[in-house]
């Protein structure tokens, strides 16, 4: 994308603000909370998020009337790029700012906008996502969590899984089955449920990295106000799909900058260890770089589609491509380290950055729709190929 003079001025403003404020009390926050480390230094990262909010740097793409800056798509991309280049800490308000906030703006009532948007902008209320279930992960339409309207409240019962940072969240947006006897995409509703109540139990899931960003969440007649439904009863699938569309928005290019930083780190490690002298490894690094460039260009295409009104079919391949690329980068890092990559560096035997990258990136091809599911979606819904045989 070609930058206008206004965009260049915006980039300088973002860069200058980050350079000034990621210092002092926040200097040690740089780089905290990356992939596989979402639990890391959570309090200082939350403090940083609220510091950003106080200076008008949260929700930059939201309309001004809802607390944002009204930044263009190009300026939102600039913000994410500069944030990644400055090695800013992992954002703790991503789900509120980039998923539920835009969903409420697009589909919520005026009362819901007044109630829920200001605390997201201020980072005083955090959110988690209640989609996946034990039998409804990649097959989201198989949701079984139930919601019953009882007078002026909804009562929610069921189980959600892989719920990121549920232990820190104040609210959860929950896709649940509100029409008895319904199946698949039909009869679902999209509810906003408070987490701090007796009917909600959170159980952390310890991952292969030894950390537990993911959680199981059990709802046992958990209640929420009857007005805390986005859209009408039965429209949950439509709203849920809209939220997923927002999830694959402008943050994509910022993600690419983070990936580039990781790639350069692996390449530098290969030079230091001499592993780069291996022609086969050198070939893998070259292929990885080419694929990284292709991802960046595809992300630009997606953003141009967003600017034109809606992302094109190229957006459907982004998750499949970056998940596979990131997993393979972790494998390259282990190849560079060789046998030393199997050893922790003394007590307390914490993983180093490359070991964590390798282990955590195994999940990249599973969560948010496994590679197999993504390929089916691309073939059937984008390319129009015959549906896979189903029992």
Q: Which residues are catalytic?
A: 247
Count Cβ neighbours within 10 Å for each residue of 185-207 and write b for 16 or more, e otherwise.
eebbbbbbbbbeeebbebeeeee
CB 173 within 8 A of CB 188: no
| 35, 102, 342 from 54: Cα distances, Å | 26, 20, 44
- Smallest CA-to-CA distance from 229 within 155, 136, 145 is with 155
Please state, in angstroms and rounded to a whole number, the distance separating the CA atoms of residues 336 and 320.
25
- Smallest CA-to-CA distance from 93 within 117, 119, 127, 51 is with 127
CB 141 within 8 A of CB 176: no
């Amino acid at each position: 994308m070609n930058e206008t003079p206004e965009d260049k001025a915006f980039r300088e403003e973002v860069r200058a603000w980050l350079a000034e404020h990621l210092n002092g009390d926040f200097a040690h926050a740089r780089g905290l909370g990356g992939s596989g480390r979402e639990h890391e230094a959570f309090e200082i990262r939350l403090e940083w998020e609220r510091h950003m909010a106080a200076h008008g740097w949260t929700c930059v793409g939201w309309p001004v009337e809802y607390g944002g800056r009204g930044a263009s798509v190009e300026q939102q991309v600039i913000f994410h790029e500069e944030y990644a280049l400055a090695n800013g800490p992992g954002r703790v308000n991503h789900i509120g700012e980039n998923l539920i906030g835009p969903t409420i703006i697009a589909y919520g009532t005026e009362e819901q906008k007044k109630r829920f948007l200001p605390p997201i902008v201020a980072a005083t209320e955090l959110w988690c996502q209640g989609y996946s279930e034990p039998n409804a992960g990649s097959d989201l339409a198989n949701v079984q969590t139930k919601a019953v309207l009882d007078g002026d409240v909804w009562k929610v019962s069921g189980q959600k899984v892989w719920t990121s940072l549920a232990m820190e969240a104040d609210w959860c947006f929950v896709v649940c089955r509100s029409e008895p006897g319904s199946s698949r995409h039909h009869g679902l509703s999209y509810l906003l449920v408070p987490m701090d109540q007796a009917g909600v139990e959170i159980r952390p899931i310890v991952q292969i990295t030894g950390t537990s960003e993911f959680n199981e969440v059990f709802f046992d007649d958990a209640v929420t106000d009857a007005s805390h439904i986005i859209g009408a009863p039965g429209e949950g699938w439509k709203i849920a799909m809209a939220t997923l569309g927002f999830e694959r928005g402008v943050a994509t290019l910022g993600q690419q900058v983070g990936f580039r930083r990781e790639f350069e780190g692996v390449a530098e490690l290969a030079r230091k260890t001499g592993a780069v002298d291996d022609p086969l490894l050198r070939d893998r690094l070259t292929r990885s770089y080419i694929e990284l460039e292709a991802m960046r260009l595809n992300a630009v295409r997606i953003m141009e589609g967003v600017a034109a009104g809606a992302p094109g079919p190229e957006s459907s391949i982004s998750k499949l491509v970056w998940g596979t690329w990131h997993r393979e980068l972790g494998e390259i890092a282990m190849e560079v380290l060789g046998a030393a990559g199997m050893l922790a560096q003394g007590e307390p035997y914490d993983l180093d950055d490359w070991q964590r990258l390798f282990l955590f990136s195994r999940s990249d091809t599973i969560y948010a729709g496994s590679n197999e599911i993504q390929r089916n979606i691309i073939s059937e819904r984008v390319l129009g190929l015959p549906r896979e045989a189903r029992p």
